[in-house]
Each structure stands twice: as C-alpha cells, then as structure tokens.
Chains A and B, each alone.
Chain A
C-alpha cells in the first residue's frame, strides 16, 4: 500500500514537472554518470534554469 502511494506520488511529481517542461533530474544525472562520466554533473538549480529557458525556444509546446 505504502509502496503504491509512493509510486503514485512519484508519477504525479514527474508528470507535473514534465508538463512544465522540466524532465526528471535523477534520470539525467544517472544518464550523465553512465554515458558521459567526463562531463560535470549540474546541480538541480543549474539544471532547472537551463531547462526553463530551453522550453520556450522550440516551436510551440502548447495548443490553443
């Protein structure tokens, strides 16, 4: 039950962040560690700022 609730919470947080254009930070860090160990790992703050700006550069992420 507790595990279920935690899974739902994780899903909700991940979805809510992605709806705002912020992908999962842990997944990104894991990806960097495994595939690009030479690159520096950004802090969540740096990661957040970079993604925030990137969201509004594309060609329209929303509908009317």
Chain B
C-alpha cells in the first residue's frame, strides 16, 4: 500500500532550491578555498544543508520506494504491547532514546585522528558517507526489524542468509566488542598517563557512583533526575579538587601512573565492576554519563556557533600520501576505516535492531528515527572535526604523534613537527600544557585529549577567566572517561553473557547467569580478551592507538558491510531488484575498503607482519628497539604484532564468508519470481484495538 504522494507547492520548491544553492555555495567554499584559513561556520552550514537535503530527498526515496514503510501497518510495539519492552511511544521520545544509544565516544575520536589529512577529506567522507551509507544502514535495518517483530540483527541474518551466517556474524560481533572495549579503554589510558588531575577526577567517579547507587536504591528509589543532579555537582567538585591534588606533592604522586599501571588498573576495575550488582555502580554511572553526553554535545555545538573558530589545519595536508604520524596508510582505504562512527558504523545495526524497533508507534516514523538519528551523529562527528581543526596544527600533531616520531621533550617535538611544515615553537607546546594544567601534551593520542583542548579553547573564548581552560579541559576528559568506563562495564557484561552462551554448548551448567562459577569464569575470559589488547596498546612502540584503531575500524566497517549485505539480500528477496544499488553500493564500498585495509595490514610495508619482522630481525641481531628495554619485551612486541595480523586475517575470512552467503542468497532470490523475504504478515493498524 502506498501513501498518497503530495505534490510540493511552488513555495516549497523554492525553499529547497534555496537550501541546495546555499549548501552548494558553502561546500564550494570549504572545498575550493586554498591558502587562506576559512571559518568553521562554512563547514557547519554546508553540513546542515547536506543533511537536510539528504533527509528530505534520499531518506524519503528509501522510505517510499525501497523499504515502502506503511503508516497503515501495525508495528510490533502496537501488536505486542506489553507496557515494558514493546510500547508505542511518541516519535520524539524514540528519537531521543535512539540518538542517546547510538552516539558515543566513536564519533568524537575518529574525526580527530583523521584531521591529520586536513579537514577536507574527513568532512567529505562524513557528509557523503552518512547520506549514502551510514544513515541508509541504520534506517534500513530499523525498517527490516520493525517488519520482523523487532528481531535482532543476528536473528534476521539467520532467517534471510541461513543459520551458519548467523553464527559467523555473532562471532564477529563478539570479536568486534573486545576490540572496541580495548581501544576505548586505551583512550582513557592515553588521556590519564602521568596526569594526576585527570586520574583523580576519574577515580572520584567510582565513590560518586556508589553513593548515587545507594541513594537510588534505598533513600529515594527511582529518582533518576534528582540523583543525577547531585552526581553532577559532585563531579564538578572533583574537577575543582583535582587542581589541588595536582599541586600537592604527596597527592599528585599517589595519582601519577604510567600507561602500564593504568592498563592494569582498568583491567582490575573492569573485572570488579562487571560482577557487582548493576544498581550499585553501573546503572548510576550510566545515568550520569548519558546526561553528561547529551549536555556536552549541546555545549560543543553552542561553543562552535558562538566562538565561530577559524580552521587552522589546512584543507588537505601532505599526509594523504600515507606518511602521517597519527595513523599509517593512504587516504584510500584508511580514511574510510579511521572515521567509522559518524560516517557509517556497524555497531548501530545492533541498536537499530534492539530496543528502538520495539518502540515505534508507526512505520512512518522510522525515517526520522533511523535516518535522522544517524544524521545527528554525523553532525557530532563534524563538530569533533571542527574542534580538532581549529587547534594550532603544531599542537595537534604534538598531541597525536607517537613519541617514537617526535621524541619526549617539547624541544624535540617542536623541531620534528616544524620539519613536517607545521611551524611551532617549544614555548607554544609548553604554554598549552600549562594552560590546561598538565605537565605535557605530547603523544596523547586517542582523540579525547585533543578534543578536550579544542573544546577548552572554544569555551575559554566565550567564558574567559583564570584557570578556566584547565577546568574545561578536565571536564572534557572526565566526560569521555566516564562514558568509556560505563561502556567497558556494560560491554564486559554483554561479552560475559555471550561467552556463557558459547560455553553452555560445551558444559550446560556454565550457561546459568546466576551461577557464580560460570559468572566469574566468563567475566575473567572476557576481561582477559580485551585486557590483552589494552595492555598490548599500552606497551606498543607506536603508542597503541596507531596500531589498534585500524583494527577497530576494520571490525566496525565489517559489521556495517554485513548489515548492508542483509539489507541488499532482503531488497532482492522482496523482488525490488531495481533498488538493489541503494544498500548494495555502500555494502560493496565497505567490503572493498575493509578488504584493502585488511590486506595492507596483513602484508606489505605498513602491515603488522612487517612490524613483527622488523623487531624479529633486530632481536636476531641482538639489538633492542625502543620502547623495548629487554629481550623479553622485544619478544612480546613480536608476538603482539603476530596476534594482530592473525586477527586481521580472521576479519578477512569473516567478511569473505559473509559475502559468499549474501551472494548465494541474492542469486537464489533473483531466480524466484515471487517475494521470499521472511516478513511478518500485514496487520492493519485500524484493526488493532489500541485503547
């Protein structure tokens, strides 16, 4: 059934023409003006125009022609209304919930790393990636799930591609999750290394959360907003107190850790936090980080609009040739791997087939929630890119380059970075560190610190004052760390359930989530898996992020490719072959990107095996290469690189297997002359009593 197509009025046509012209003009300024710095507002305006046009035209086209969402059809929320999981909910509430679930630290990290190639490549990939791939994936998976009782991605893959495909994909999700947790934890490690102020404030979140948990459990049950305000006040207090901790010789020594120690602390924390009852630590911190996240995103938007910073990073740097210090590899495919969340993120397919499809009151609202929600996340990514690009490029490279390339003193770093063509003095680097209340800004890769400095400068431009920069910097670090710790905790739990399910195939009793043996064992395995990669990152010669972020990107884009393959298969199975390119082209693009990046990481100059061989050669010659100080450490770096290479190999096999299943399903469905997709039967909304 089709909804009646309303012809646009002349005024409407005029408005859209005006938006298109303004958008094209802004994009032209962003893309073509060379030699003189441009204002960030051009970039923001271009992004808004592209998103609005993409939503109005491409989103609508997918809605009406490809998915054929039908407002007259009853949704799972209406059919299976249980007042708890399945509830027909106001579309704005669903939108807010969906956005809060998809927006995380990812869109804030990737664009910051990608800024090493200049702001233009990242901007273009975010803008066009989201319209033609990311939002398409989120929207289509949401649409498919709504037509299938709100079933999960794994279940839909099993139904449409076969049982083995479902198992393979779920294995991929587990591996992806371990990498996600390791990389995110590493971002925290990088931000807190030798930073007593930051470490104190992040550590303070633990007692604050415990206090909130007890308050919420016994004193004022269920008063989330109230307890979150108290928690926020205590957090701000801890940022203020952090300055005194950093200034005191005794206390600053107590909170001063190197990367290895922090990695062990996080591993221990992850284990303890995920076996405690959820109400005590996880839930209260989850509330706090959810509200803080939304608040901070709004603060960032406000800061960018009010401060209207000039982009100091060139549009395109020489590092598009693959010689960049932040991550290795050419623009193709590594830009498309580095910026995952924000342009297209496979993880969203799990959320779009999780709670959201069970809340939609009408199929007509899926476009706004699915397509619109992802556009919002892309906007967050654009803002992160603006914050990073508005920094002095010298400061940006000092913060994001590994010490193997820029040394460990401000003098060495300034010399090295100036030689790359980004002239910076040691004083500028030292001053930046002093302004934000830290001893050093060098080699703090991982996005969070760079974004924090960018945000601190923007906010300081609006609200000046002595010491405010340091406050804003530590606020931004705290916000990201709080959010990441919540993800680590919740992710470890989910990983534990997945591992227990797999263990249950071997020994039934291990499957009981109430059994302490099974519980502790599965938690230990889960923490051990991500902890291995975290520790590896902490001792990595290139600083960790440089090595692990591509692995994360490949895994995340691999999942996106799988989700888009599912959408492609279903489009063919519904006999809508003429639209197969809508999910098909982005699926192919992501397969090409992940496979190319995978092969380059497997063999060749920037591969894990090349790094392993370099260290093996040195070890054979009896030499030590930094940062290894002993023969054992040399050996460990070699092993780590071979593990990473093996993991890359697994990803390649995984994606090829899924591609095989998808092609088989497409070929079969193409030959059959009637629809074969596993949709639930049509029930008219009018026939369901909705009281």
Contact = CB atoms under 8 A, between A and B. Distances in A.
B95 to A, nearest CB: 8
A2 interface: no
B283 A52 contact: yes
Best-surrounded residue of A28, A57, A58 (most CB of chain B within 10 A): A58
Contacts of B290: 19-20
A22 B350 CA distance: 20
A18 to B, nearest CB: 4
Grouping DSSP codes into helix (H, G, I), strand (E, B) and loop, the B interface class, with mixed when no group exceeds half, is: helix
B90 A49 contact: no
Given A11-B93, A19-B97, A64 B221 contact: no
A47 B85 CA distance: 13
B225 A63 contact: no
Contact of B152 (A14, A16, A54, A59): A59
A15 B206 CA distance: 26
A31 B105 contact: no
B12 interface: no
Contacts of A15: 92-93, 96-97
Best-surrounded residue of A19, A48, A64 (most CB of chain B within 10 A): A64
B82 interface: yes
Contact of A20 (B90, B224, B487): B224
A37 interface: no
A55 B303 CA distance: 34
Interface in A5-64: 11, 13-20, 22-24, 27-28, 30-32, 34, 44-45, 47-49, 51-64
Contact of B341 (A13, A14, A64): A64
A27 B82 CA distance: 10
Nearest to A18: B97
A62 B106 CA distance: 11
A44 B223 CA distance: 10
Contact of A64 (B93, B104, B222, B291): B104
B84 A56 contact: no
A38 to B, nearest CB: 15
Contact of A62 (B93, B101, B294, B513): B101
A44 B351 contact: no
Interface stretch (B2-10, B21-29, B53-61, B490-498): B490-498
Contacts of A20: 224, 283, 286-287, 290
Contacts, number: 128
B51 interface: no
B597 interface: no
Categorize the interface residue count of chain B: 35 or more
Contacts of B177: 60
B180 interface: yes
A60 B351 contact: yes
Nearest to B179: A64
Given A28-B83, A45-B222, A63 B89 contact: no
A54 B180 CA distance: 23
Contact of B101 (A47, A48, A61): A61
Interface in B402-446: none
B132 interface: no
A16 B96 CA distance: 8
Contact of A16 (B84, B180, B291, B348): B291
B101 A45 contact: no
B619 to A, nearest CB: 35
B100 A52 contact: no
Interface in B266-323: 278-279, 282-283, 286-287, 290-291, 294
Contact of A18 (B93, B217, B291): B93
Given A60-B177, A63-B103, 15 more contacts: A19-B96, A22-B224, A27-B83, A47-B222, A55-B283, A56-B278, A56-B283, A56-B493, A57-B497, A59-B350, A63-B345, A63-B347, A63-B348, A63-B351, A64-B104
Interface of B: 81-85, 87, 89-90, 92-93, 96-97, 100-106, 152, 177, 180, 184, 217, 221-222, 224-225, 278-279, 282-283, 286-287, 290-291, 294, 341, 345, 347-348, 350-351, 354-355, 359, 486-487, 490-491, 493-494, 497-498, 513, 552, 556, 691
17 contacts: A14-B90, A15-B92, A18-B359, A28-B83, A28-B84, A48-B221, A49-B279, A56-B283, A56-B494, A57-B497, A59-B350, A60-B494, A61-B354, A62-B101, A62-B486, A63-B101, A64-B552
Q: Which 5 A-B pairs have the closest CB atoms?
A: A31-B83, A48-B222, A15-B96, A28-B83, A19-B100
